[in-house]
Amino acid sequence: MGALDESIRERNRARAKWLGTGADRSQCFWSGIVGSTWWFYFTGPSSDEVWGAYLAHASAMLDRGLERPALLCIAHRADPPTAEHRRWIADYIHTEQARLRSLAGFALVMDSPLHVLALKAINWAVKKPFPEKVCGSPVTAARWLAAQGAALDERELLDSLARAVPPEHLWREL
């Protein structure tokens, strides 16, 4: 598996970088691009490695300078971020808010109905510089992102996920 760049430990976590990936079967996160939608899929414990990779993926998306990119985060049988990781994400959104305004949308997929409802309530009160939705399935998220104007083909997304994510970690509806 790749190594975490030490910049993740710096105060400005928006500049975190992920160095490499591996075919290690213990890997618990995967990412890809379909159309203008950048997806990140993870399972298992919340760790610096996972959240560093997620922020690096989001940064790479913004660095491409796409006109209306979309971001999809799928948390399947995954622990929620720790307080420290939530701070990293908040710092990232604050630092990158101007560039994040270009997003067609951000969809978070979780398989816990309780977490979905809790985040919907929180997101209603805390406004982000982009449209966002918490969904209970990747299909629902893909359809919402497409409705927001993201260049995304639902079948291509599902195929991309099925190719990248090992079967034992794949969302059951895929």
Q: Can you tell me the distance from the alpha carbon of 151 to that of 142, in angstroms, rounded to the nearest whole number?
A: 10
Question: Is pTM, for the whole model, over 0.85?
Answer: no
pLDDT digits (tens, 9 = 90+) for 83-123: 899 889 889 999 999 999 999 999 999 886 555 455 554 55
Contacts of 50 (CB under 8 A, 6+ apart): 28, 29, 42, 44
The answer to whether residue 76 is domain-embedded is yes
3-state secondary structure of 77: strand
How many domains does the chain contain in total? 1
Task: Say if strands 132-135 and 37-44 run parallel, antiparallel, or are unpaired.
Answer: unpaired
Ranges of H-type helices in the chain: 48-63, 83-95, 97-100, 113-125, 138-147, 154-164
The tens digit of pLDDT for each residue in 133-149 reads 988 899 999 999 999 99
18 found inside a domain: yes
Identify the pLDDT of residue 143. Answer: 97
Asked, for residue 25, whether it belongs to a domain, the answer is yes
- 174 belongs to a structural domain: no
Buried b (16+ CB within 10 A) or exposed e, 57-85: bbbebbeeebeebbbbbbbbebeebeeeb
**Domain-embedded: residue 46:** yes
Domain ranges, residue 53:
3-169
Q: Is 107 among the domain residues? A: yes
What is the CATH number for 73? Answer: 3.90.190
